[in-house]
Structure 1
Amino acid sequence: METRAHHVLIGLFTVIAIAAAMLFAFWLGRSGEGEFNRYRVVFKEAVSGLSQGSTVQYSGIRVGEVEELHLDPNDPRRVVAQIRIVATTPIKLDTRAKLSMNGITGTSQIQLSGGTPESQPLVAQNGEPPIIVADPSPIARLLANGEDLMTGVTQALTGINRMLSEDNAERISRTLDNLQQATAMIAEQRDDVREMVHQLALASQQASATLEQTTLLMRNANVLVNDKGRVVLDQAEQTLASLEGSSTRLDGILAANSDSLANGLQGLGELGPAIRELRETLASLRQVSHGLNENPVGYLLGREHAQEFEP
């Protein structure tokens, strides 16, 4: 009888302990609800790797988790993630959200950032959780375009395999052999190549000296032409002026002695000096013209034509 009483007491104590533990867990859960705030993060892209229970971080610090994940009923291209954040976390109107990679595990998480001190807190309206529109994530675009990326990689590998076929490998091998033979021939003739380079250097030096001498000769010729050429032109102008004066005198003599020329020799005697002067002027002009035509440099310099320089 006493044994049965002990079993009843033990059973009753066990039931009371389990009920107390359940009440404590229920109270703990109810009390914890007031320490969190809920928000909705709207993604306009795929959220591969994100699931219920995924981490929510603010500037690298864990502040909450994803409670629910579903498509927007009005726009299936958007994904709505309801998150639970510690109530002490300062979520502002300018707080931004984006999808990020959680280390190297391949899972995704929500990363919150921004929020200036002067911005107003983001609070619920009409009893609905506030909405945070997520920024485009490079990781999401990479995961969404992963198929295209793999297709491009496959095509690139196929092209590389075609380029490295047996025929191309044989051609490359022959090209390398020919290149090695050409290099060996150049190495055997390096003395000739060195001599050729030396000759080219000498020729370049001689060409430079010739160019300098030619430049000096042209400069001297310009100086002579500018100086003595001006003298010759002055003499030619004087000769032409003298010729013009003689012609004027001759016209005057002919006009003044036209009657005497018709009757006797007196007009011819006066005409003789003018004709001689005209002949001397014409002879001098002819000599100048002949000298300029035959040897202009010798005539201007008063010596023979300078020999051309041969390098």
Structure 2
Amino acid sequence: MENRSHALIAGFFTIALVLLTSIFAIWLGRDKIQRIPYEIVTSSSVSGLNLQAAVRYKGIKVGNVTDINFNPKVPGQIMLRIDIIPTTPITTATFATLAYQGVTGIAFIQLDDDNQTGSILLAKNVNDDALPQIPLRPSLLQSLEQKSVAILNQTQELTQRINHLLDPQNPTSLLATIDHFSKAADQWGAVPEQIAPSLSKLPALMDQTQSTLKSVNNLSVDAGQFTQNLNQLSRQLQSSDGPIARFNNALDQISNSVTTETLPRIQTLTGEARSSLRLINRTTENLNERPQSILFGNLAPAPGPGEAGFVAPVSAPQ
């Protein structure tokens, strides 16, 4: 019984010692530095990157990768959360790339800023929706891979074109093309002989052109003088004592004379003509009533009251 009790006590002591050692190791290894969280969103591959992978700024370790997950809002995107010490100069010009360590090939996040200045990029709170984002650029291997694919595509296209150029039917076409160029060169050699007569006439044509230009210049000078004469004539016609002004004055005088002299005379003549017409009408009426007045003249008017020979009318008996 005593052996069993000693063994049980030794077991408890061993377990307690292991627990105390673990707690002491955790206490010694705990990180007391408060870190700032950032987020990296990318659609590129992050093969080789694991949790707690190092985050380096210009080669200096400044943090770790704390979370790797897919973006539930955008299919195909990967969200990386990193925690970085506060003294790291993270700005809006900072970008991240995926780098690999030496022979081991362990991936880590490399931060850099291309020596560009920018404002400080800080997280407002610990909420994942408010974390500042750092762009992830393609790494050197990814850029080489993309360029290698493009180079392979171009090489394949170049090979296809070379194969098409070396097709058995193409040499015949190429020889025919060379023959056409040879014939064209022969015809082009005959062109100077054909244009030689025209070239010999060029001096005379240049002299005629110069004379024509002189005539055009003279015509331009004459046109300018004609324009000046027209302007002078226009100014003379439009001057205050010019023909147009005198003609307007004459029209005004004629209008005034018609208004002040001719129209009153016409009105007077019209009144006299009306009086003459009245007299003629009266004479005509008298002749119609007493045609004998042409021979015997007009009768004397009957004497009125108070005149000699006046006879009062007799009233009729009642």
Normalising by structure 2, report the TM-score.
0.40
Of structures 1 and 2, the larger Rg is shown by 2
The structure richer in helix per residue is 1
